Amino acid sequence: MAENGTFEIVDRDGLARIARFQTPHGIIETPGVMPVINPNIIVLSPGEMSKLGMQALITNSYIIKRTPELAEKALKQGVHSLVGFDGPIMTDSGTFQSFVYGGIEYTNKDMLDFQKSIGSDICTILDIFSTPDDSFTKAQYAVEETYRRTHEIKDDGTIYAGTIQGSIYPSLRKRSARIMSSSAVRYLPIGGVVPMLESYSYANLISAIHSAKMNADFSKPIHLFGGGHPMFLALSVLAGVDMFDSASYIKYARDDRILLQDRTVDLSDLERMPAWSPLADRYTINELRDLEKEEKTKALATHNLFAIFSEISEIKQRIAEQSLRRYVKGKVRSHPYLKDAYLKFLGYKDVMHFESYSRKASFYYTDVEDRKDPIYSRLRNFCLAEIAGRDEDIVIVDDVLVSPVLSLESDLVHAYENSSAIFVKNWNGIPVPMEMWDTYPIQQSISSFSGRRSNMLSTLSKIFPGRSVQKMRDRLGVRLPEGKRRFDLEKIRMIARYQFSTDGSSMIFPDESAIRTSKKTDRIRTVSYGEDLIATLRASDGLLTFTSAGAKLLDLALPGLKCRVMVSDESREFNLQGKNVFFKFIVRSDKEIIPGNDTLVVDQSGKLIAIGKATVSGKEMRYFKRGVAIDVRSGLGQSGN
């Protein structure tokens, strides 16, 4: 079994990740929500909540400690027995009570010792709560004092949670995330956000999440305290939140309010119960309204918790199929302030480091917001740089011409190969060179009509003044500038430049490269050099996958540590034989590695030993200590290599 506190990624979509966090009482799968249980008043039993989808819960150790009968039972039998749950339990420390009452009667050490003594799986530091109204100086004190309290943690294997504070100040959130990550805590909640949620300050909240996430240890779960409303969950997960807790399910139930996926509704205003609700087959609306208060509260709490877990289930599915951005884009239209927060998130360019070159799901282009998608931005930057780096004429090919009349298999390829011009077509505002037309997301996208409307001739003339830019229909029958080149060779070279940000594509694919195409589609399938198969072009996304022979060419073309991980001598022989690279054996790695992309594995002398697919980005690589870093495809010590 994995060591307690280890965090292993199972699946990902950008910053969003399905992962497994090991605790003494079992694994918590992220993203997830911990329902808050008041040990004095348990409305829904843990058994009932487990049937709805609960896998872990949170309760307040301060309430337990200051209530003699609860404290006695918890100390004798443990917190799991106290609340009747044998799964993972996180305990809060009384921070919010300390904020509300101006202090509590116990110290941080008192609360940590008590949480440990009652068998909590995740013990929380008594941090200093900050509000959006706090001055910078006051919020700074909260950050520094909370960090100071981590020094009271004992190195005894216990999982401690250290809250990231900082109010609305990104610089403080950044510092808090860094110093808390450097401490002995293995779980990182983001605190002080409930006032932002209650005031719908979603833009400030997404800023707090982003500042914390980008400066935290990526191998530690990020937990958003109090962020359990279904309408905000998906955007938070997209921004990198792994776990949530929620008391809203019971608070709203007591006020006769119902949680829906995109809003909250008073029971008095509800005309019909949603068909997906667990209450739909049990009560009519009038019957529900007429229930005794206690029974009605329990019924509404059941519905509310089910709504939360249903949303989490949908988010996990979206991560698995890599369509979470598409889902969030629809979700945020339920409230203007959510839309504002989403637009703010789209402005963060650093999230590009965590995005693969392609996704399992098709790329949907519906409006200009999609131009801020990392995949779109990366493609646009590359295409413009490719065109800017050459002096040739630019020829725009209309979509209508890319057809049986003028197809890639005949006329257009012939025109390309006998010309030195740059052939491009408009893809949602990007002048995409002909060599990239089969590469994700161009071929694997669905665009609205408005997205396809763009005067590419005018756009290119403005971007590249003085360059000859004409449409292909105007060039038909006209002598093109003379040239002689192989379309298939130039295509794979350009894709290599895109995937590996290299100028050495001719070293990866020499002039003598033999390219085999599909008999059915006439598209490139494999590339060989001499007797060796060196790469395949994936039909699913038009990107390259390399063999061990191809890895040797990549190794020659890419300088220094680029697209490489260096492993220790202890791991070398295993990787040579084609075994996966584990995080704990990595000595150094390129910070620019893209998750899902081919990555070279070298030993400590810099000698190539294997090639495989990176499971995380280069930004994350140095944080993880457990799990597979490179899914090795081929080791150079295997027979035949």
> What residues act catalytically?
92
CB 320 within 8 A of CB 19: no
Tell me if 375 sits within 8 A of 14, measured CB to CB: no
Cis-peptide, bond into residue 46, ω within 30° of zero: no
Contact criterion met (CB below 8 Å) for 279 and 271: no
Q: Alpha-carbon distance 141 to 598, whole Å?
A: 45
Q: Return d(Cα 316, Cα 334) in angstroms, integer.
A: 20
Dihedral angle of Cα 565, 568, 570, 573, to the nearest 10 degrees? 50
Question: Where do we find the tokens 């008095």?
Answer: 268
Burial classification of residue 212, based on how many CB atoms lie within 10 Å of its CB (0-12 exposed, 13-18 middle, 19 or more buried): buried
Q: For residue 437, which of 448, 424, 428, 450 has the smallest C-alpha distance?
A: 424
Asked if 422 contacts 463 with a C-beta cutoff of 8 angstroms, the reply is no
Per-residue exposure over 156-176, b if at least 16 CB sit within 10 Å of its own CB, e if not:
eebbbbbbbbbbbbbebbbbb
Distance in angstroms (rounded) separating the CA atoms of residues 337 and 200: 7
Backbone phi and psi for residue 279, each to the nearest 5 degrees, phi listed first: -90, -10
615 token code pair:
């499971």
Nearest in space to 40 (alpha carbons), one of 59, 18, 15: 59
**What is the DSSP track for 389-455?**
T--S-EEEPPGGGSBTTB-TTTHHHHHHHT--SEEEEEETTEEEEGGGTTSTTTTTEEE-HHHH---
547: left (phi over 0), alpha (psi -120 to 50) or beta: beta
Helix or strand holding residue 586 (H, E): strand 586-589
CA distances to 351, 604, 605, 620, 622 from 583, rounded to whole Å, are 22, 15, 19, 10, 8
**Nearest-5° Cα angle at 77, 71 to 82:** 65
**Rounded CA gap, 89 and 81, in Å?**
11
Peptide bond before residue 31 is cis, with ω within 30 degrees of 0: yes
Distance CA 207, CA 348 (A): 10
Of the CA atoms within 13 Å of residue 456, those in its CB half-sphere come to: 25
Structure tokens at 241: 């939140």
Task: Report which residue type is found at 392.
Answer: E
Instruction: Please report the DSSP string for 48-95 in residue order.
Output: HHHHHT---EEEEHHHHHHSHHHHHHHHHH-HHHHHT--S-EEEE-SH
Distance of alpha carbon 610 from alpha carbon 629, whole angstroms: 13
Residue 487 CB contacts under 8 Å (≥ 6 apart), including other chains: 413, 416, 417, 434, 435
Cβ atoms within 10 Å of 31's Cβ, excluding its own: 24
